[in-house]
């Protein structure tokens, strides 16, 4: 395979899997910046391997494996006890297969939130992430409670549609 072809494929591998890998790492690290750093390192390591001419059979699984190992390393370095080296979601421990599988859906969801209209996203995030009440959001942004309610239901609708659309066309 020529170097150019090599890089083409690598570009795809990056585009299709970057965000899912970040979310996968996030289940372990619970920190978006650290997750991004780990995923970057893994792509770099894989890239080097490919440059050296190493044959990597299933690159995607290999990336997931590397991300997992690095997350565990990082948690160990921070002194997290071995029995707690598990992926978590909001409610507690999940297993690794779950985390891998979910990372795809979660990445689509993240993309869908990203592509909401700005105001709509702001209201949605204040409500769902920050847990503010409709009244509080209305106060803060100088909107009526009704507008807040409408924006949130609009966001939910768009996300639902968006996630489906993105799923069909692949995301990047």
89 touches other proteins by CB under 8 A = yes
The DSSP element (H or E) to which 68 belongs, if any, is helix 59-77
148 touches other proteins by CB under 8 A = no
Residues 72, 59, 164, 155: is their CA dihedral positive or negative?
positive
Q: Exposed (0-12), middle (13-18) or buried (19+): which is 111, by Cβ within 10 Å?
A: middle
106 touches other proteins by CB under 8 A = yes
Candidates 83, 118, 103; CA nearest to 23 is 103
Q: Can you tell me the distance from the alpha carbon of 30 to that of 87, in angstroms, rounded to the nearest whole number?
A: 9
Stretch near other proteins under the rule CB under 8 A, chosen from 56-64, 74-82, 133-141, 146-154:
74-82
Stretch near other proteins under the rule CB under 8 A, chosen from 60-68, 86-94, 137-145, 146-154:
86-94
Count of residues near other proteins by CB under 8 A: 39
Closer residue to other proteins (CB): 23 or 138: 23
Residues 125, 130, 131, 132: is their CA dihedral positive or negative?
negative
Binding residues for other proteins, rule: CB under 8 A, are: 11, 14-15, 18-19, 22-23, 26-27, 30, 32-33, 35-36, 39-40, 43-44, 47-48, 52, 74, 77-78, 89-91, 102, 106-107, 109-110, 113-114, 121, 125, 128-129, 172
């Amino acid at each position: 395979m020529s170097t150019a072809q090599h890089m083409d494929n690598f570009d795809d591998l990056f585009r299709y899997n970057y965000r899912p890998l970040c979310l996968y790492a996030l289940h372990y690290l619970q920190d978006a910046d650290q997750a991004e750093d780990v995923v970057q390192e893994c792509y770099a390591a894989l890239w080097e391997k490919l440059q050296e001419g190493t044959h990597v059979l299933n690159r995607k699984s290999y990336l997931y494996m590397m991300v997992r190992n690095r997350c565990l390393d990082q948690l160990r370095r921070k002194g997290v006890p071995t029995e707690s080296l598990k992926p978590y979601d909001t409610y507690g421990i999940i297993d690794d297969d779950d985390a891998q599988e979910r990372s795809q859906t979660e990445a689509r969801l993240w993309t869908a939130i990203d592509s909401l209209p700005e105001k709509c996203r702001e209201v949605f995030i204040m409500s769902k992430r920050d847990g503010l009440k409709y009244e509080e959001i209305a106060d803060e942004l100088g909107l009526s409670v009704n507008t807040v309610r409408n924006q949130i239901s609009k966001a939910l609708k768009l996300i639902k549609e968006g996630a489906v659309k993105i799923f069909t066309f692949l995301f990047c």
